[in-house]
Amino acid sequence: MKSSSIKILITGGAGFIGSNLCEELIRLGYQVICLDNFSTGKMENIGELLLHPHFKLLTGDIRNLNDCNLATQGVDYVLHEAALGSVPRSIVDPITTNDVNVGGFLNMLVASRDAGVKRFIYAASSSTYGDSESLPKVEEVIGRPLSPYAITKYVNELYAIVFAITYGMECIGLRYFNVFGRKQDPNGTYAAVIPLFVKQFINHQSPVINGDGENSRDFTYIDNVIQMNLLAMTTTIPEAVNTVYNTAYGDRTTLNQLVGYLREFLSEFDPQIKDVEILHGKNRVGDIPHSLASIEKAKQLLGYNPIYNLKDGLKEAVKWYCKHLK
């Protein structure tokens, strides 16, 4: 089947990851429908796509089943990216986080089932590993969730399994590990650490690291995430479906190292940045100390081969931010 005859729905398609997926799938010749309520997504993220003949924007909310039913009509694949992210946001407002991430997720599963969607690929989260101290993180070993957000993302996985068993749906969950890159919003109360630090450095403001800076993460560049979504969508291996995959690079970096790289790369655009002081604050509630993904399962079953390591991804991200934040 030609890609031009395949219709893909991307929920949260005006958000950071969703808009990058929209761009890549349009480039590959697919028909793309973007569903977004613009609570966190931005029109500017998809502005260049609006006049493309293979792109359609639907303004709607996954908490509304009618919107979900409308969006899934005639769709072959769903890439479900819509969610309220952020552990701190979920601690402040667990009810809305649950409404969107659990209620909205269930609406999308039901709508996809009723529309006969071929495969449902959804954004899962490394937060599902919770208090498990084992490293690297392997998909079959998780702990207890440490935040309302983590609970919602684990519930997504449970619902996906039930719908696969009960209704014969094909579902694949991608446990994202600290994704970063172009179009990630540096503004707002719940901005992710990399775009936030970049914005602060560019403005000659001191970044504040939570704790002593020795917490580590498996930072994952957006293009690796796009690759995983495409592989999950196109795999024809039966064993590769109805499971979850770590979506990461497979290496970990401390926050102190991260800030050092950012200061180094940004200083190439503005030498004054190398003199910006780094500050330290309190540890953040709900954070896990260390995160490192095993990507062996994705390599073996999907043929995953992440191209961008942290440094290469940061260099690309820094170039984008220096162009768009000035």
- Cis link prior to 207 (omega < 30° from 0)? no
Of 103, 131, 115, residue with least CA distance to 72: 115
Rounded CA gap, 115 and 136, in Å? 38
Which amino acid makes up residue 157? E
Average pLDDT over residues 232-256: 97
Say what percent of the chain tops pLDDT 70: 98
Residues 6+ apart with CB under 8 A from 9: 33, 35, 71, 72, 75, 77, 78, 79, 117
The secondary structure of 131-183, three-state, reads CCCCCCECCCCCCCCCCHHHHHHHHHHHHHHHHHHHHCCCEEEEEECCEECCC
Q: Which pLDDT belongs to residue 244?
A: 98
Would you state the torsion angle of the CA atoms of residues 199, 202, 205, 210, taken in this order, to the nearest 10 degrees? 40
pLDDT band at residue 319 using 50, 70 and 90 as cut-offs: very high
Q: pLDDT tens digit string along 201-232?
A: 999 999 999 888 999 999 999 999 999 999 99
**Residue 286 confidence (pLDDT):** 65
pLDDT at 100: 98
Instruction: Give the pLDDT band of residue 1 (cuts 50, 70, 90).
Output: low
Q: Has residue 253 got a pLDDT over 90?
A: yes
pLDDT for the residue numbered 223:
98
Q: How confident is the model at residue 183 (pLDDT cuts 50, 70, 90)?
A: very high
Residue 279 and residue 208 in contact, taking contact as beta carbons nearer than 8 Å: yes
What was the pLDDT predicted at 189? 77
φ/ψ (deg, to 5) at 243: -155, -175
Average pLDDT over residues 106-134: 96
Q: What is the per-residue pLDDT for 3?
A: 78
Q: How confident is the model at residue 324 (pLDDT cuts 50, 70, 90)?
A: confident
Q: What would the mean pLDDT of 260-273 be, rounded to a whole number?
A: 94
The rounded distance, in Å, linking the Cα atoms of 309 and 180 is 12
Check if 176 is active-site. no
- pTM of the predicted model, to two decimals? 0.95
Give the pLDDT confidence score for residue 142 in this predicted structure: 96
Q: Where are the domains of the chain?
A: 3-180+220-250+293-309
Looking at the predicted structure, is the pLDDT value of residue 111 above 60? yes
Catalytic residue among 149, 176, 221, 304: 149
**Among the four given CATH numbers 3.90.1150.200, 3.40.50.720, 1.10.357.10, 1.10.287.1080, the one describing domain 3-180+220-250+293-309:** 3.40.50.720
CA distance 261 to 306: 20
Contact (Cβ atoms closer than 8 angstroms) between residue 61 and residue 46: no
- Whether the predicted pLDDT of 287 surpasses 80: no
**70 token code pair:** 């409308």
Q: Which of 230, 199, 98 is nearest to 153 (CA)?
A: 98
- pLDDT at 288 > cutoff 80: no
pLDDT of residue 281: 87
Q: Which pLDDT belongs to residue 240? A: 98
